[in-house]
Structure 1
Amino acid sequence: MIEDTKIAVGVSYVVKIDGESLGEFASCEGLSVEVVLESREEGGNNSFVWQLPTRLKFSNVKLSRPVGKGTSQPILAWISKAPGLKPSTAEIQAQNAYGDKIATWYLQRVVPVRWTGPSFTADQPKVLTETLELAHHGIDADG
């Protein structure tokens, strides 16, 4: 039996916006595309309803990671330009625990939606995390 050494275990995600690194993230949610359908009933046809594809709908992508020294700086610098920001291109590269590339996704016309920093509570010690949410208008995959 041959074992795949590039399995997706212990994955991290390296994120770049227009070639500038935002660093590594521990989780990535929302890489999806949905075909929006329009239903049409045809007179005299009682067997089925026509399902016609109309457009593509892309989910927002949420990236999260533990907060570390300087982790938020590149994100906040990019988001601060948002009111006058032209849509960007994002690259999300999944890599295994050895740093080997597993897959890459390219997001087209990316704009920042939200950055959420850590919640501070003294009564429940936990890892501080930050989350970046991105909207986009297309996705291409490589890998």
Structure 2
Amino acid sequence: MAEPVLLQTFNFEVTLTEAGGSGTFTDGAFAEVTGLQVEVDLKEFYEGGSNDRVVQRIGRGKYSQKLVLKRGMFSPGSGADTDLWQWLQDVVAGVRPVRRYDGTIDVLDGTGNVVATWSFRRGLPARIVGPTLNAKSGEVALEELHIAHEGLFLEGTQ
């Protein structure tokens, strides 16, 4: 059995591709992605006369409610990137059809090769949060996008 390779978890790239369309948004500048999880509901059954155990049965699978993507909002010399905000503002304004995006999160090794890919289907913008602006802290101004989706998959690549 091969020895596992420990990767630096910050080396990843996010790609959003318009579902059924041609628009693509690729961003290697996301600083954090959370919500990569799948869970199964378990049903407990108690059998009469068996007081020393509980029977476990598989229920419905469910995904984390949302993926959360965080990135720096401002670039030196180019101002704010408004693409993510516009996506949610179009939904709020009633622009139809609503743009849905399929997405991938590629994890890269030290040489830039993809070693694993999470993909999701039919993502919708659920929430966007602007940066906390505090002149005293000196922190990077991060925005976060919450994406609701209809499926999350891990694909291993070699």
User: In 2, Cα distance between the equivalents of 1:95 and 1:71?
Assistant: 27
Aligned-residue CA RMSD (Å): 2.6
User: In 1, Cα distance between the equivalents of 2:32 and 2:111?
Assistant: 17
> For the Cα contact (< 8 Å) 1:106–1:140, is it kept in 2?
yes
Percent identity over the alignment is 30
Cα deviation, residue 72, structure 1: 3.4
TM-score, structure 1 normalization: 0.81
> For the Cα contact (< 8 Å) 2:16–2:101, is it kept in 1?
no
User: In 2, Cα distance between the equivalents of 1:72 and 1:55?
Assistant: 39
Q: 1:116 aligns with which of 99, 124, 129?
A: 129
Q: How does 1:1-143 map to 2 (within 5 A)?
A: 8-9=7-8, 10-18=10-18, 20-24=24-28, 25-59=30-64, 60-69=66-75, 72-82=81-91, 84=96, 85=98, 87-96=100-109, 98-143=111-156
Partner SS for 2:83: helix
User: In 2, Cα distance between the equivalents of 1:97 and 1:71?
Assistant: 29
> For the Cα contact (< 8 Å) 1:11–1:26, is it kept in 2?
no
Cα deviation, residue 134, structure 1: 1.3
User: In 2, Cα distance between the equivalents of 1:125 and 1:8?
Assistant: 29
> For the Cα contact (< 8 Å) 2:123–2:147, is it kept in 1?
yes
Note the residue ranges of structure 2 that are not aligned, 5 or more in a row: none
